[in-house]
Amino acid sequence: MSQLKAVRGMRDLMPEVTSLWQHAETVIKSQLHSFGYQEIRLPVLEATELFSRSAGEATDLVQKEMYSFADRSDGSLTMRPEGTAGCVRALIQHSRLSQPARLWYAGSMFRYERPQKGRYRQFEQIGVEVTGYQSADIDAELLEMGLRIWQALGLSDAVTLELNTLGTAQSRPAYRQALLDYFERYRADLDAEQLARLTANPLRMLDSKSPTIRKMIQGAPKLMDFVDKESRAHFDRLGELLTGLGVPFVVNPLIVRGLDYYTRTVFEWTTTELGAQNAVCSGGRYDDLVAKLGGAPTPAMGFAFGMDRVILLMQERAAQIAQAVDFYVVPITDAEQLSAMHLASEMREALPEACVVCHAGSGKIKARMKQADRSGASFALLLGEEEVKAKRVTVKPLRDQGQQNTIERTEAVEWAIKSWRAD
């Protein structure tokens, strides 16, 4: 029988790495909280139409990357490839657009892409979406919050904020046409896929990775020259606020983002430390999307951290947040198992932040002590026949912190609290 394996591009995260995930998630969520953002939880499955209407029919996301299937009754469903569309759908459905909202979500996204380092078919995002704010101050708030998160993760020097403006949907057709006219000259040099891309979504030529196209782009018309006056003013104001807030950024006129719904500000935090998959957090303004999905016209903006890449970046930087066991309670024989479990319970209750492991699984004392040592605990607390009879506990330091000694059973919890505080 062949061995069953996880689906290609979908990963198991083993305990060696989940502690790093928990750490990163806690850090990010606490920053989101301190900026006044509230959590929203959304379904993984949505009607396929939600994504074709929001991201745009001609995008790679909709054409090639969606996990869609026919439901038994509800027509075509899709496993969410991103969080923005579902969030907007929910706000419309629950009539939440009359008041501004600052929201965040966390969860798995699914895209049928070619897996490689940093690119998976199931990946995790923590995203934020803000609705109801038109002016550039909210753009600045989001970007400042992004910076604070990178700082809290200890990664601010690993990433660069690249910023651009796309102008409004009204200013874009003229630019699309200018790009089409420009690339027309190079028609003979483009392969079938590039030609298809040009026809479907000419702006996407700008973020092509092909060296030939990159060269052609140097002489291409500049988006900034086509952007409407208000969008330019919005962008200038954002630049001013970011400078005032000390948020470093570079303007990259080639950032266009893959989805149709973006307007005005678009951005990516990129890194040079992860190879080809260099975007670690991306987003932008999408002032037309709410109306496009049937809600009252409402300006909005958001971004999402690619958590898999955040974790890779932390690992590149050798951040090891191994879950440290603090106390390991060892019954010397099975006869003391229950007493040991009681002691561990009392310690956990008194010290909820500490990690207390009670030995499980029989074995000789030597094997039990080996497990205690392997756990990384600072102290083992031993309970044998003699200890139970004398109502005492043996405390054995495991990391060269002095001599083994015995203490009263009634004082064991107090001792644990003291030694935890002293640490």
CB of 313 to ligand AMP, least distance (A): 10
Q: How far is the CB of 18 from ligand AMP (least distance, A)?
A: 17
Measured from the CB atom, the residue of 118 and 295 that comes closer to ligand AMP is 118
- 84 or 171: whose CB is closer to ligand AMP? 84
Amino acid in position 230? E
Nearest to 63 by CA among 78, 73, 75: 78
Phi, psi of 344 (to 5 degrees): -60, -40
Instruction: Report the residue number, 162 or 336, with the smaller CB distance to ligand AMP.
Output: 162
172, 259 in Cβ contact below 8 A?
Answer: no
Alpha-carbon distances of 18 from 25, 322, 359, rounded to whole Å: 10, 9, 22
CB of 331 to ligand AMP, least distance (A): 45
State which residue, 102 or 111, has the beta carbon closest to ligand AMP. Answer: 111
Distance CA 131, CA 95 (A): 12
Based on CB atoms, which residue is closest to ligand AMP, 260 or 308? 308
Nearer to ligand AMP, 223 or 279 (CB): 279
Q: Which is nearer to ligand AMP, 120 or 235 (CB)?
A: 120
Amino acid making up residue 348: R
**Closer residue to ligand AMP (CB): 262 or 327:** 262
The b/e string for 299-312 (b: 16+ C-beta within 10 A; e otherwise) is bbbbbbbbbbbbbb
- Quick one: 259 or 388, whose CB is closer to ligand AMP? 259
Nearest-approach distance from CB 78 to ligand AMP, in angstroms: 14
Binding residues for ligand AMP (CB under 6 A):
82, 111, 113, 118-120, 123, 125, 279-282, 304, 306, 308-309
Task: Compute the distance between CA of residue 408 and CA of residue 390 in angstroms, rounded to an integer.
Answer: 8
Q: How far is the CB of 248 from ligand AMP (least distance, A)?
A: 18
Minimum distance, C-beta of residue 160 to ligand AMP, in the bound complex (Å): 13
| Residue closer to ligand AMP, measured from CB, 126 or 138 | 126
Q: How far apart are CB 322 and ligand AMP at their closest, in Å? A: 24
Give the nearest distance from C-beta 321 to ligand AMP in angstroms: 20
Q: Which residues contact 376 (CB under 8 A, 6 or more apart)?
A: 322, 324, 325
The string of DSSP codes covering 74-122 is SSEEEE-S-SHHHHHHHHHHTT--SS-EEEEEEEEEE-----BTTB-SE
CA dist 158 and 357 (Å) reads 36
Q: How far is the CB of 176 from ligand AMP (least distance, A)?
A: 21
CA–CA separation, 227 and 234 (whole Å): 11
Task: Assign 3-state DSSP to the chain and report helix, strand, coil percentages, each to 5.
Answer: 45, 20, 35
Q: Which residue is nearest to ligand AMP (CB)?
A: 306
Measured distance CA(199)–CA(209) in Å, rounded: 17
Angstrom distance (rounded) from CA 302 to CA 254: 19
Residue 278 beta carbon to ligand AMP: minimum distance, rounded to whole angstroms: 9
User: If we measure between CA atoms, which residue out of 37, 132, 34, 147 comes closest to residue 92?
Assistant: 132
Is there a contact between 327 and 379 (Cβ–Cβ < 8 Å)?
A: yes
In the complex, minimum distance from the CB of residue 397 to ligand AMP, in angstroms, rounded to a whole number: 44
Q: Which is nearer to ligand AMP, 108 or 339 (CB)?
A: 108
- 361 — alpha (psi -120 to 50), left (phi > 0) or beta? left
Check: CB of residue 141 under 8 Å from CB of residue 36: no
